A and B are shown apart, each in its own frame.
Chain A
Amino acid sequence: MTDVLTVNNLSKHYGDLKAVNDISFTVKKGHCFGLLGPNGAGKTTTLEILEGINSADSGDVHYPLIDPKQSLQQHIGIQFQNTALQDFIRVKETLVMFADLYGSRRLVDELIELCSLQEFLDRDCKKLSGGQRQRLLLALALIHDPDIVFLDEPTTGLDPQSRRNFWQLVKDIKARGKTLVLTTHYMDEAHQLCDDIAIMDHGKIIEQGSPESLLQKHFSGALIRIPKANIASPLPFEQIREYGDTLEINSSHIDQDLKRLIDLNVSLEGLYIHNPNLDDLFLKLTGHELRA
């Protein structure tokens, strides 16, 4: 599959802070690529460098399918994390204004339908709900039919219902053959939407690959969590970690391991078992919670 974006050894410092520290990755055409990490990991800075509105200290960003003589802005669509729209301007007017900035109103009606903006077309942008706003911002990012769309934490602050609606919208856009690059600190969002992910922490990429392959690589089977208070002496398990008040056992054979616990006279009060997800992966890789 063709690469639409390659990033090599990108770094960016703000004074002593290494916001982006020597990261490399590629994005494939038609894929959804997710940059994951806690707040302050360097996701937004990375995205802004890719979008050409911030500059890197070193490293390079290359778009193999875009003629370097053409303006990058015509080929990429951007949804920023915190964007205000002009007050007192209505939704339809905002769409038309942005369409005019790109020189074509061709897609306005199509995007109104795609992003379900019909019910609030005449509403002042200031009076939109969080979900409505994000849908409008996404429509603005798509107004010039870009090949690549950048979404910076598109569902932060949305209620669960609006998040799910937005996910469906992102899937629809992907189905139209667009390449998507998104940042998020929701692991479930990344799992739902992304074909490839890169996990960032303190400016570095600590792991990358498809969500499934990463989970397979780092976990075998399920996770058993048990309160530390239940345990008197150290447990004889190979893959065992401590997180606060709990012990976590990475278990490939649940039946056997539970039997062993009972044989060891460990109380099963408060024990629970679940399938590993990206949150667990992040915890395992960094030793701290993602949303902290």
Chain B
Amino acid sequence: MFNFRRFGAIFGARNKEFWRDRSSLSWNFAFPLLLIFGFSVVFSDNNQNQFKMGLLNQVDAPAALESLKYTAYVEYKDKTIALKKVGQHQIDLLLDWDNQEYWVNNSSPKGYILEKLLLHSSSQLKRNEVTGDAIEYIDWVIPGILGMNIMFSCLFGVGYVIVRYRKNGVLKRLQATPVKTFEFVAAQIVSRMLIVMTVSSIVFMGTWLTLDFRVEGSLWTLLLILMIGSICLVALGLLVASRSESEELVGGLLNFASWPMMLLSGVWFSLEGAPEFIKIISQMLPLTHFVDAARLVMTEGATLTDVSQQLFILMLMALAFFICSGLMFNWGKNR
């Protein structure tokens, strides 16, 4: 049976160990702050140089627009969502070729240029206007950077600790007590989750107050996403570190798990126009759903119901990682 006293003993010891390790504690705060302030300087103006055109109910660009260069096309099935994207400058223009009309935001410079290019290719189209508040790249990218930092903290934080415990015999000594694998694993997950939530909440509030980026939705919803997302990523870290005694091997495996997420989870750029197989890979990565949910809440004011699908996927993944890491867990090689 799961024993909460044993869980509590391991949990408490791990928390003390983390908070008393001043040097690594300060780095846990310093790194995300450096990252975010660095990005706010670099991306203070929106420097994406490609045009993005939304197409209503159409996958490929119409033949008439073949001459149009430097434009990415994204299909939308829902007109409301597409118009909102135009309003927020997420796409520069929305085209409904079947009805020969388009929508553009008067306050968007790129929309203005794309409109000129479009009319040059086909002049029969009916013009519509959309207004809205632009989502600057910095607003868009901050949920991604926070998510990425949380991912690294979850994966590497728990992964290296477990390997160190295994290597120096802490695990072997614990194995000789009545503690059960799942109690130990759960204590590690919950402890790291609380650490990550505390650190990221402080970093979030600190950068929000100084940079005033966009937060449309509820902070409580964000906190819940943060909790579920970090449980999922910590469980993944434990899974990666569940067997090996070598820091080099686990370091490599953690990089192998984290780099695809850093590139393909929509941290830095939207995958809306990416090839299908990239999108499929991206859907298999927990960070994709985590960042997606957080971004929807922050930039578009999504509610808990709006992001319930992402949260459900994250919970399923977390459960799978937790069970696998518990079953595969190795307390330390004999000899």
Binding site for B on A (CB under 8 A): 14, 19, 44-45, 48, 51, 53-54, 71, 73-74, 78, 80, 82-89, 93-94, 96-98, 100-103, 140
Contacts and interface: CB of A to CB of B under 8 A. Distances in A.
A78 B176 contact: yes
Given A89-B16, A100-B5, A84 B178 contact: no
A139 B138 CA distance: 56
Contact of B169 (A73, A74, A82, A97): A82
Contacts of A78: 173, 176
Contacts of A14: 335
B176 A97 contact: no
Given A53-B175, A53-B176, A54-B334, A100 B8 contact: yes
A74 B178 contact: yes
Interface string B21-44: 100000000000000000000000
Given A100-B6, A101-B9, A87 B17 contact: yes
A41 to B, nearest CB: 13
Contact of B20 (A74, A88, A140): A88
B21 A80 contact: no
Contact of B174 (A71, A101, A103): A101
Contact of B16 (A45, A83, A93, A102): A93
B178 A101 contact: yes
A132 to B, nearest CB: 17
Q: Which 8 A-B pairs have the closest CB atoms?
A: A84-B168, A100-B9, A88-B20, A101-B177, A54-B334, A97-B9, A78-B176, A83-B169
A73 B335 contact: no
A85 to B, nearest CB: 7
B267 to A, nearest CB: 33
Contacts of A98: 9, 177
Q: Which of B3, B16, B17, B165 lies at the interface centre, i.e. has the most chain A CB atoms within 10 A of its CB?
A: B16
A14 B333 CA distance: 12
A98 B12 CA distance: 12
Contact of A103 (B5, B21, B335): B5
A89 B170 contact: no
A288 to B, nearest CB: 23
B176 A73 contact: yes
B185 to A, nearest CB: 15
A44 B170 CA distance: 17
Contact of A73 (B6, B20, B21, B177): B177
Nearest to A73: B178
A48 B169 contact: no
Given A53-B172, A89-B16, A89-B17, A71 B9 contact: no
Q: Which of B6, B17, B176 lies at the interface centre, i.e. has the most chain A CB atoms within 10 A of its CB?
A: B176
A89 B13 contact: yes
Given A84-B169, A86-B170, A101 B179 contact: yes
Nearest to A150: B176
27 contacts: A14-B335, A44-B335, A48-B334, A53-B172, A53-B176, A54-B335, A73-B177, A74-B178, A80-B173, A82-B168, A83-B173, A84-B169, A85-B173, A86-B17, A86-B165, A86-B170, A87-B21, A89-B13, A89-B17, A93-B13, A97-B10, A100-B5, A101-B6, A101-B177, A101-B178, A103-B3, A103-B5
A145 to B, nearest CB: 14
A51 B13 CA distance: 25
Contacts of A94: 13
A177 B170 CA distance: 29
Contacts of B3: 103
Contact of A84 (B14, B170, B334): B170
B248 to A, nearest CB: 19
Contacts of B9: 96-98, 100-101
Contacts of A51: 176
Contacts of A140: 173
A158 to B, nearest CB: 18
Q: Which of B5, B14, B165 lies at the interface centre, i.e. has the most chain A CB atoms within 10 A of its CB?
A: B5
